[in-house]
A = this chain, B = another copy of it.
């Protein structure tokens, strides 16, 4: 995990949490505050459960999974974070991370020092509200997971695909599925085999078309009807 220079000339600065954060800072101030960027290789951990939470992160490219390992050794995946998502929001509420974050592929992140974030929350209403709203979205996501886990296998997969579709910037039915079937199962709380069967079914019903790591949603309405 190698760190590089911060956001001073980042084209996304104005639309970014970091933008609000570093507004008015000189490069030197940023540097000393600890704003920076990193790249992680596939499989590398961004942080582990119990680590002192000193940064939160913005995904620039690639993807993470956040997960915990239960008492009986099973990996429970709590979320996937793709480009533009925030990882490690825990850090705002807790001194330590409550989950592990691991790169699913080569992944780029911006790191925002949590001390600066907390300080800025006291300074500007706009920034405080930006953080609170991010927390609100995280609550919504968790409530969504809770709802999804009360549905049938078909519905879980359908709901997941739709959420990916919504989260994707590119229009059209193309979505990125950087996670393995195993990980998807661990996220949806389904056996790998069940996930696989649902995908097969959706493809034979011409709802979906699979192409390697990507996949095309041919019949969005059918998915909505399911979920």
Contact = CB atoms under 8 A, between A and B. Distances in A.
Contact of A139 (B68, B74, B142, B189): B142
A135 B93 contact: yes
A146 B77 CA distance: 10
A76 B135 contact: no
A15 interface: no
Contact of A98 (B76, B78, B138, B143): B143
A147 interface: yes
A146 B146 contact: yes
A3 interface: no
Interface in A118-175: 118, 121-122, 125, 128, 132-133, 135-136, 138-140, 142-143, 145-147, 149-150
A88 to B, nearest CB: 12
Contacts of A189: 149-150
Interface residues of A, number: 31
A92 interface: yes
B133 A122 contact: no
A121 B90 CA distance: 18
**A interface, over-half SS:** helix
A143 B93 contact: no
A26 interface: no
A211 interface: no
Contacts of A68: 143, 147
B142 A142 contact: yes
Contact of A143 (B78, B92, B133, B140): B78
Contact of A133 (B93, B118, B139): B93
Interface in A176-191: 189
Nearest to A89: B139
A139 B93 contact: yes
B98 A132 contact: no
6 contacts: A78-B146, A94-B139, A121-B122, A139-B139, A145-B146, A150-B189
